[in-house]
Homo-oligomer: A and B are copies of this chain.
């Protein structure tokens, strides 16, 4: 018989629902692959529309985090509250209590990585954040494990769907930046205040995490040279097209021969030969230039309920497998 592992979700917005759906819709598949049944025991959420959404049974919901923190049956907590607080405090408390933590919260991971790492090391509770970069794309796992026989010479990524959508619309449908931004907002790809996306702040957070994974080097996102896309004009795109290039918001990091890391986030003309050239609309992609494997290219959905939920669920499964066998 399968072993049951219990987890909790903090927050039941879009990604919370996707995480829950991945674990329940694919429960049989997960059991076939791992021998485990992963059960969401509690969900911290107070918004009535989330509680009554019909996605999860109402009896799972609580408004008291202590019910989760003090429940010895719960081995892992998925932080999906967003923002800084109380997310950070809740995560640190969970790690201190020996519970694994998984999160898609790139801004928080990038800003306070050291705190979480220390808390995780102190109790041995795993801390994972696959969903923080590239949504459904398993780029963290691929860097950390699948390509661990490699040194990464360079990493290039399109890791913000909003800006890639805007640039694609400007390029293919001849829209102005303002028109494309409005369409992205209408489609739900851009926030009402789009600053974090269009100014490259979100991309810098993700690049910070990629550099940590690739080289164990922590460069705070605030120290990453950064230019957003709000200054990109149709004339820029046309000039790039003449050179068989497309302008993309590229997160780039390179390890130099002296062991230092050079990094930037900026609109960059990408030539046709680079697979990032073909990444359109809200898709994300990462190109890993490795010293043995050569170029490895990953593409997928960088956002959305089920795609991001799938990456969160993947991390929850990993920590449950780890807990179950130890």
For the complex, is A323 an interface residue (Cβ under 8 Å from B)? no
B150:A29 contact, CB within 8 angstroms: yes
State the copy count for this chain.
Answer: 2
The answer to the question of A39 belonging to the interface, with a C-beta cut-off of 8 Å to chain B, is no
A294 to chain B, nearest CB (A): 5
Judging by beta carbons under 8 Å apart, are B300 and A297 in contact?
yes
In the complex formed, the residue of B with least CB distance to A301 is: B294
Distance of A245 Cα from B295 Cα, bound (Å): 25
Alpha-carbon gap, A148 to B130, bound state (A)? 13
A29 to chain B, nearest CB (A): 5
Instruction: Say whether A149 faces chain B, with CB atoms less than 8 Å apart.
Output: yes
- Say yes or no: A314 contacts B149, CB within 8 Å: yes
Chain B residues with Cβ below 8 Å from A151 are 25-26, 29
Measured between beta carbons, the chain B residues less than 8 angstroms from A91 are none
User: Is B146 touching A142 in the complex (CB atoms < 8 A)?
Assistant: yes
Interface size class of chain A, counting residues whose CB lies under 8 Å from the partner chain: 35 or more
Question: Whole-angstrom distance from the CB of A261 to the nearest CB of chain B?
Answer: 15
A208 interface residue per 8 A CB criterion:
no
A295 contact set on B, CB distance < 8 A: 299-301
Within 20-37 of A, Cβ neighbours of B (below 8 Å) are at 21-23, 25-26, 29-30, 32-34
B22 touches A150 (CB 8 A): yes
Residue of B nearest to A278 (CB): B278
Please give the distance in Å from A63's CB to the nearest CB on chain B.
27
Question: Contact at B150–A26, with CB atoms within 8 Å?
Answer: yes
Residue on B nearest A277 in the bound complex, by CB: B278
A313 contacts the other chain (CB 8 A): yes
5 contacts between A and B (CB under 8 A): A26-B149, A275-B278, A296-B299, A297-B297, A297-B299
